[in-house]
Structure 1
């Protein structure tokens, strides 16, 4: 003691560092609570009001409304939060000094995260949503995402102080446990518009603030060891005077909280290895998932079998490994073959669609061959084999996350380029570096088949691989696929693609971690039974209950993947992967046949049998499980050898980073639901119908960007889209409506889901969708005809909108039955109504006279338009004021038809419109453009030659109507 006192005699002032923590806590709480107090006193009714409700439905303000909307509470908050910055930076610095140890990278990383959080806090504080909504969101999302590694890192680095560790665990649990409830009530407010939900959300939001600040306040218990001069007066940071027994117990508790992930000793070679492996796995899935959508272009334009479908067999490249010289050549030159496979990423440079498909097809074939050879070569070394398997499956999870960020398109696909969001060049460069790192070790097994003598069956392993890869690809390559399986329309009764897609990714992540840690457990029949039940629930049920089955299925597929792929790698690769991928291909065709039955040989035999697909998939996986159970030690765990399990921790960290990336993307994509029609003052609703050909243009490029531009420039408020369901392997598991609805600011109803066996219909609307029902119209012979019946809140009036795709010309009886069904459905509505449809009939002939009849009560938008065959717009109880046809350019094979209607307001206007229903002459009176108000006019942009190949055609100009 005297030694310390002697050294301290020269100090001018001495301050215990815990007061830094207490100062930070006090000033931070003062910033928020002072703003709350002042705001409640001065502007209570204003700050509790939101876009839907005010007092008394909402009676407690949110954090954002309190601190950013009004003066002077905003100034109080900014003043005190600025005062917080000094103690905050000091807190981060002291924490680094306390936890830094020689050779440890984690303290430096956490210190960097702490500084980043402080800066982003200043960002969302001083740039409010009113100032710049985008930058406010970017700073806020960055702050929230950085909180995750900050919290986990602080727990992992905690000194052996039991009280501090206990409080950190409790507060971290409270913080993260609050988030799901906060999101739930925000959805209730924003999407379901539940009165009072925003007040409940506000309580959880304020709790998040309190827990966040309190978590950092716990540092006061650790900083007691520091005094500012600055000197470690107790030696705690050096590990002095700490009981080794108690320290061991505390360190064990810390490892439980952080799953030992932060115990890994970071070394740049291993970090680069993991990054390269995961990215290279992502490249494999990018090429595999891109192959299907490139193939789909050809039967789509040929309207039947084109011959190009043979490229679906590209994946059977591993069959070549059955030829011994080729197997030896491939395994001895793995780097060369992996490099050649990257030629598939060059497909975007090939303009001709046929040659582009050939390029990606060859790339996939060589990639499957190279991966099978790699796994077979590594099968003699359990740790290296597991690392490659993890790269394959973590690569799939990364692919799903990237597709979510790109709104279901992969930026490396052959249908992408710079004009529509592609990042092909950067992706290729990174792939080359990743490949070089991925193949830097020499092969271990250079071509013998001795491993095949072990217990088990190569054929059973192949069956398992076929079912497993089909399940991974068809259900998990996009996080929105299974969500759309269970979607039933409005009001929302189940998950949404954004933000709930993260639940799917989380289930995949959890399944993979369990699969590598407990391979024998997940390979049992009991776990297989649970997975089968999940698949059955997904197939048979909808809304949240159906989605629970989806989560179980996602968990099981990624959990069984490591032991099943490991077992297959130890067998003859010709059978286990060559035959396995052949079986996968048969499942892919089966997957298409159930909906394309009208265009393929033998199609009617499997018509609408998704249940058969799911049952077959699980039976195939069951064959793989049977193979696992017949081998006692197929999958070896590296127990008692820490270096062997290091790669698991790196891959776990990679999974954590991918999940953080997904969460940030989900927050960014969260729907605002504050959409505004283009001509609100004129009470105009502009409606359109467009058959978008699965959002592939005439040159095989993804067409979402071009579609968005045309819809926006035509100022369309409500649009029906047909041929929209691309949630199948052959179509890339895409959802065009996600991009269009989010970028255009529109509500979306996807229509009957992918498991309903239609080509798809969708509705986008600037107006809230109050209710929607999905219909599958009678189709005894031909393809199923989907329809949406939606009720919109249009300027305070309820308007029904019907979106419909009729059956094909070859099936007249189907079309007759569908006509009767839809006409009765429209006739049952007494509200103002609009039909946006693909009817496959000539104007004034045949079924047309049932659609436009007393049965439906509907009128044709333009009787003199004789050139129509497929697309029609019908209406009733609305004042039609404009109609136009706009050429498609090369976006699709069908033009865009648009009509303008005035929604009547008040009883007098409604009576006038009702009178027009019985007076065709008055209703159809045409006028020149100068006779209608400005808000009724179509954009002049498309007159004459128009823009980008879009112009008014047939009539060469819009037509306008005004009753006499």
Structure 2
């Protein structure tokens, strides 16, 4: 122990030691806790702790941390004893770090100390509550630990004293810790989803690496704590049998000042961090309001079945064109706070019940937010650092929007189609938005009155670039699943899936943002543009992983070029660059809608199914903006005499921190959404398959609320095992770039095939199944005149029997030739399958008439679930090779415009039990029987009898029908 530093040897000093011993003791005991458990566990229960849900030794040969410390006695007890001992040095370490970094008037050291304490408590939570004890709380506490590790790690680096070695070690160890999370997640996916033998062992090595790096990061404090001496004094002399007076307080204060003398000015300002947080959140609000406009506009042509007139409100984005009026521009620039506050009408809209008035509130919000941001960027364009802050806030706000949509299953929690009943956080989002606006606009405009526009470059070319850029960001990057669904082509899975691999899109966007502000000269080159264009071509023309690699390339490029393009546009006339730019954006949005809605819009056939033209247009528009940037760079290179203005880049570390936080939050949400593989049919004991068909009308109910929760409840309560969803493709700007199937599949525990992707120009067909999908193929049926007819042909493993399920949406009534060709195609497709089969469909025909006799024919081999039901026009269920036992029609309430039809089948236990060759007369085959003759497991739920629940009840027949097979 170190000698006491007090001159008075009789001052009652009992014990003193250097502060670094706190760090060393924490490091030693923490490592001892984990590695003693590893050694004892490997010695006593090696084969048991390397065993996982799929494989054991020798495929898996190294145990994970959780299996080592949580599953067996005595290693679990040994670990808990040592980890309890670790808590003392751990709390002491946090306390010493606070004393070392605390300064008068600074709040950051306090915040970091609090995060350190909470982090320590959550560590105790996930180590003492193992996944075996309580899986949910173990996961919650572990995620909380990782989340609080972010401020602790970044705060320690920011507050580090002037010790170059310590700072270097902290950066390396923190980078290693967060970098290890990427392969950790990858190999966990390989184990959990793809069931790769040996993947869990590799995952375990990365998991143990996290422990080593985490403890090592805190061990670096030993290099800083050597300035401290921990002294234990007997102030009353009890240890020597006397009662001595204490050392004067002035001496202790002097020692404290001496210990703190080497504290380095941390260079971190909580006020600046709060500014960046407010800016980014306000950028998130912009994208939330803008992306909600298409959804609320789409509601009206959807229910009018054609042009409604409300589509004109998409032009509210061109409000910046009004800045061409000099007095109006002066008014907006000098009153930005009022304009930005008015933009929050787009968030307040959720309080308005009437869809029409809600649409107008959103339109007001969109016009004000586009106007406000254009004015702010233009006003701040004279100061490079301030302009870069605004641009980064706008761009990172998009990334935050994508993160929030992933966490809320592709819905934005503050959209006006959300409210408390369907998972919305509108009230919380609105309060935060008000606070963000007040912080965002607290600085006076850098240009006021009549700003002077910067010369150089073409405002027209900038407008083209802005139009193409905003369309690309909105249509492809406002949801992480959009481009994944572009490359999806069915089972077996040969590419990315939305709930597992979506972080790759976020990572590519993050890399793009970083490149945009750190390497603008590299981004604004024709080479970079060529790489981005190549990525767009690969995405458009390919599927599976190769197509997704193109998507990631394009995502990185779009985010990277955003920073210089928007910065350049801000320095020119905002009426042209943003007013005209948003007008061009609107035309490309309409173009991208026309390619699929060609049957309902004027001039639609001219651009039918030309997504490639849309992508080409987008890249050419961006190319015009890049040409303007390169031209400006070439001109400025010849003006050597003009001094170059340096940009203060101090804000970039806060923006990098925001990017890091958003990525970690996304990974936490991804962890919570990770598939459980808990897919159980409702009545397996009776070998029952309950199938349903439902046209969900793009997941907007009659009152313009997102309807996923209500759909989920009805499907669950009706005990549907396999359901076909039609009008389910929402991955377009007008539908909010959403995917209802993600929420339904994960919440109900079902496999999902999204069907033909958004680049296949259909209104969508999807399949959800409690049974494994062995194989699926997507079909686009003949449609020479009208809308494309999508179909899914999937083979399911139903209680060990392969059963084919077809999900199909035929063309509209106005195109009889299309529907005839489609009926012939589908009849042959169904007839080609020798397996038991079910058709879940939208046929647009009367029972027993016309094309019905093609679908139900010797060619298809299919039977109608109930030929006596003459009240149908669109939804039909057909089958073959199965024992049909029941059929029901359940009213939709206000969820959609179409009922949910369901049928129950008993799956043959063997081929010899199949009824595919049954030739009994139709009268006998379709004979109905009383419900009391049907076993309990084959009955439909009684809760929908009579008035039912929430507006759902059996109708047409007023009860289910049951059959004798």
Q: TM-score by structure 2 length?
A: 0.91
Alpha-carbon distance in structure 2 between the residues aligned to 1:949 and 1:202: 51
Aligned to 1:754: 758
**Structure 1 residues 97 and 473: CA distance shift in structure 2, 3 A:** same
| Counterpart contact for 1:503–1:551, Cα < 8 Å | yes
Does structure 2 conserve the Cα–Cα contact (< 8 Å) formed by 1:916 and 1:923? no
Give the superposition deviation at 1:736: 1.0
Question: Which of 334, 344, 347 is residue 336 of structure 2 equivalent to?
Answer: 334
The alpha-carbon deviation at position 545 of structure 1 amounts to 2.0
Structure 1 position 429, deviation (Å) = 2.7
* 2:647 corresponds to 1:646: no
Residues 1:557 and 2:561 are matched in the alignment: no
Contact 2:881 2:917 survives alignment (8 Å): no
CA distance in 1, matches of 2:804, 2:280: 49
Aligned counterpart, 1:300: 302
What is the CA deviation profile of residues 553-609 of structure 1, one whole-angstrom value per residue up to 9, with x for unaligned ones?
A: 222222222222222222222221111111111011001001101111111111111
Aligned mates of 2:180, 2:170 — CA distance in 1:
15
Deviations, residues 284-318 of structure 1 (Å, cap 9, x unaligned): 21111111100101111122211111111111112
Contact conserved, 1:121 with 1:143, CA < 8 A, in 2?
yes
Equivalent pairs counted in the alignment come to 939
1:541 is matched with which residue? Answer: 542
The answer (yes or no) to whether the contact 1:566–1:634 under 8 Å persists in 2 is no
Where 1:798 maps in the other structure, the secondary structure is strand
Report the 3-state secondary structure (helix = DSSP H, G, I; strand = E; otherwise coil) of the residue aligned with 2:650. Answer: helix
Q: Are the structure 2 counterparts of residues 55 and 674 from structure 1 closer, same or farther at C-alpha, using a change threshold of 3 Å?
A: farther
Aligned to 2:801: 797
SS of residue matched to 1:229: strand
Give a deviation string over 1:813-840, Cα, whole Å, max 9, x none.
2222222322232233333322211122
Contact 2:592–2:611 (8 Å) recurs in 1 = yes
Q: Distance in 1 between matches of 2:920 and 2:574?
A: 74
1 CA distance for matches of 2:892 and 2:90? 57
The offset of 1:226, in angstroms, is 4.8
Flag structure 1 segments of 5+ consecutive residues without an equivalent: 243-250, 252-261
CA-CA distance at 1:163 after TM superposition:
6.4
Structure-1 residue corresponding to 2:249: none
Question: Aligned residue for 2:514?
Answer: 513
Q: How does 1:315-334 map to 2 (within 5 A)?
A: 315-334=317-336
Q: Classify 1:78/1:770 alpha carbon distance in 2 versus 1 (closer, same or farther; 3 Å).
A: farther
8 A contact 2:882–2:914 mirrored in 1: no
* CA distance 1:366–1:192, change in 2 (3 Å): same
- Structure 1 pair 543–289 and aligned structure 2 pair: CA distance change class (3 A): same
Return 133-142 or 287-296, whichever deviates more: 133-142
Distance 1:19-1:557 versus aligned 2 partners, 3 A rule: same
Residue in 2 that maps onto 1:960:
962
Counterpart of 2:180?
Answer: 178
Provide the residue aligned with 1:387 in structure 2. Answer: 389
Shift of the 159–8 alpha-carbon distance from structure 1 to 2, 3 Å rule, reads farther
Q: Determine helix, strand or coil for the equivalent of 1:12.
A: strand
Equivalence for 1:811: 815
Tell me the equivalent position of 1:254: none
Moved more, 720-729 or 497-506: 497-506
1:451 to 450, 453, 456: 453
Match in the other structure for 1:703: 707
Alignment of 1:397-412 (within 5 A): 397-412=399-414
Report the Cα distance in structure 1 between the residues aligned to 2:448 and 2:212, rounded to whole angstroms: 60
Give 1:287's match in structure 2, choosing from 275, 286, 289. 289
Contact 1:36 1:67 (C-alpha < 8 Å) held by counterparts:
yes
Gaps of 5+ in 2: 233-251
1:741 lines up with 2:745 in the alignment: yes
The corresponding residue for 1:861 is 865
Correspondent of 2:268 among 262, 265, 278:
265
Asked if structure 1 preserves the Cα contact closer than 8 Å seen for 2:153 and 2:174, the reply is yes
1:195-594 correspondence runs (5 A):
195-220=197-222, 223=225, 226-229=228-231, 264-268=267-271, 270-446=272-448, 448=450, 450-451=452-453, 454-594=455-595
Distance in 2, matches of 1:24 and 1:390, equals 40
Is 1:788 matched with 2:792? yes
Cα separation, 2, equivalents of 1:678 and 1:363 = 46
Q: Give per-residue Cα distances to partners, 1:508-549, cap 9 Å, x unaligned.
A: 222223222333332222222222122222212222222222
Deviates more, 1:186-195 or 1:36-45: 36-45
- Out of 761, 765, 771, the residue aligned to residue 767 of structure 1 is 771
Which range moved further: 73-82 or 878-887? 73-82
Moved more, 35-44 or 181-190: 35-44
Q: Against the structure 1 CA distance between its residues 638 and 717, is the aligned structure 2 distance closer, same or farther, given a 3 Å change threshold? A: farther
Q: Give the secondary-structure state (helix, strand or coil) at the position aligned to 2:962.
A: strand
Within 5 A, what are the aligned runs for 1:830-841? 830-841=834-845
TM-score by length of 1: 0.91
**More deviation in 474-483 or 870-879?**
870-879
Cross-structure match for 1:728: 732
Q: Are positions 1:611 and 2:612 aligned together?
A: yes
Deviates more, 1:62-71 or 1:296-305: 62-71
Q: Is the 8 A contact 1:264 1:646 kept in 2?
A: no
Task: Answer whether contact 2:350 2:426 (CA < 8 A) is retained.
Answer: yes
Cα shift at 1:903: 2.4
Instruction: Kindly indicate whether residue 113 of structure 2 is the aligned counterpart of residue 114 of structure 1.
Output: no
**Contact 1:141–1:668 (CA<8 Å) still a contact in 2?**
no
| Aligned counterparts of 1:114 and 1:639: Cα–Cα separation in 2 | 43
Query: Residues 92 and 111 of structure 1 are in contact (CA less than 8 Å); yes or no, is this contact kept in structure 2?
Result: yes
Contact 1:833/1:878 (<8 A) preserved: yes
Query: Whole-Å Cα distance in 1 between the matches of residues 683 and 279 of structure 2?
Result: 52
1:914-953 aligned at under 5 Å gives the runs 914=916, 916=918, 920=922, 923-953=925-955
